[in-house]
Chain A
């Protein structure tokens, strides 16, 4: 939302200045793009607990490779490709690590779950968790536009620009994301 409000000329100036080592311009880039980059990471991984770690890696990679960006107007698509790759790498690594830990801690975790007190007042939190799990269960190609639509309130054209997809494809993917959500949540919410 914030990123899309910046006009092309201003974006080019900021990117060029940041490439030349201007610290203020670099800060401006982070401020303008951090929110949607985090949303994009969440769209790729479906894991809110991983977003902070991946976002740090994304910006580290951005500063390493910023000088290689030839067309500043394509900054958003370029940022998204870095964020997507970083998110996939870290979520795969995290999944492997978790699998190893789960085998060792399986018994302890089950006991901890059994000892939790009943919480009748936490119905809303449970509903929210169910909804998040349903979103997480979506295929990434459907989850990404869905998350950007809801977290950034972007139009189909804006989502298409970042994901490098035609507007019709964005629309179709959003329809299918909603259909899958409805099917997965039938009778649960």
Chain B
């Protein structure tokens, strides 16, 4: 690749003035990456040109050359991105994401329990807390009142065992206390 001094000077000048084509820009980037001497020479070229331009503007009381907003925001954006990355890293360290689908057995159950805590796992529904069932069946103590049934059958202590309870019928008596004329 021909990178003679004269051609390089023209290329540098066109780059500085924003007059280069896409091919020239590609050539410049390649030369700069491959040859540190080219990069050093361009930096010198640019600094001198910028210093002369600034001196001219100061002499003519012109405002400084406007800097593109993306250039001005670049340091702020870099700081914000670094802070966001640090926060994300801390949160990932505190709450490591795990997927139940990639595990098996007890690991899957543990992962399922952890999935609710992970940012990336699905949100699981909240379940009620259920106490363990009692080993012995406690027969309910029934009180039957004000009913007209004569017999009530309830389950007994064991299988195929029932109790038959006889219920006294409640007698109702109606008294007329008022009569319309």
Does A155 make an interface contact (CB < 8 A)?
Answer: yes
Contact residues, A133-189 vs B (CB, 8 A) = 134-135, 146-147, 149-151, 153, 155-156, 171, 174-175, 178-179, 181-182, 185, 189
> A150, B19: Cβ atoms under 8 Å?
no
Q: How far is the CA of A131 from the CA of B54 in the complex (A)?
A: 9
> B49, A147: Cβ atoms under 8 Å?
no
B60: contacting residue among A39, A131, A179, CB under 8 A? A39
> A182, B48: Cβ atoms under 8 Å?
yes
The interface residues of chain A lying within 8 Å CB-to-CB of B55 are: 127-128, 131-132, 135
Known pairs A150-B52, A171-B13, A178-B9; A132 contacts B45 (CB<8 A):
no
> B45, A128: Cβ atoms under 8 Å?
no
Q: How far is the CA of A39 from the CA of B59 in the complex (A)?
A: 11
B48: contacting residue among A132, A153, A156, A185, CB under 8 A? A185
Q: How many of A's residues come within 8 Å of B, CB to CB?
A: 28
> B52, A151: Cβ atoms under 8 Å?
no
Q: How far is the CA of A131 from the CA of B14 in the complex (A)?
A: 22
> B19, A182: Cβ atoms under 8 Å?
no
Give the residue name and chain of the A residue nearest to B6 (CB). Answer: A175
Q: DSSP majority for the A interface?
A: helix
B17: contacting residue among A48, A156, A179, CB under 8 A? A156
What mask results when residues 85 to 121 of chain B are scored 1 for a CB within 8 Å of chain A, else 0? 0000000000000000000000000000000000000
Does B56 make an interface contact (CB < 8 A)?
Answer: yes
Does B51 make an interface contact (CB < 8 A)?
Answer: yes
Give the residue name and chain of the A residue nearest to B53 (CB). Answer: A150
The interface residues of chain A lying within 8 Å CB-to-CB of B173 are: none
Give the residue name and chain of the B residue nearest to A130 (CB). Answer: B55
> B48, A178: Cβ atoms under 8 Å?
yes
B40 to A: closest C-beta gap in Å: 14
> A178, B60: Cβ atoms under 8 Å?
no
Known pairs A39-B60, A42-B60, A48-B59; A181 contacts B9 (CB<8 A):
no
Q: How far is the CA of A147 from the CA of B14 in the complex (A)?
A: 16
The interface residues of chain B lying within 8 Å CB-to-CB of A181 are: 48-49, 52
Contact residues, B2-17 vs A (CB, 8 A) = 9-10, 13-14, 17
Contact residues, B44-97 vs A (CB, 8 A) = 44-45, 48-49, 51-60, 62, 65
Q: How far is the CA of A151 from the CA of B56 in the complex (A)?
A: 7
> B19, A132: Cβ atoms under 8 Å?
no
> A179, B9: Cβ atoms under 8 Å?
yes
- Residues of B at the A interface (CB closer than 8 Å) are 9-10, 13-14, 17-19, 44-45, 48-49, 51-60, 62, 65
22 CB < 8 A contacts A-B: A39-B60, A42-B59, A128-B54, A128-B59, A132-B56, A132-B59, A146-B52, A150-B52, A150-B53, A150-B57, A151-B56, A151-B60, A153-B65, A155-B17, A155-B19, A156-B17, A156-B19, A175-B9, A178-B45, A178-B49, A185-B48, A189-B51
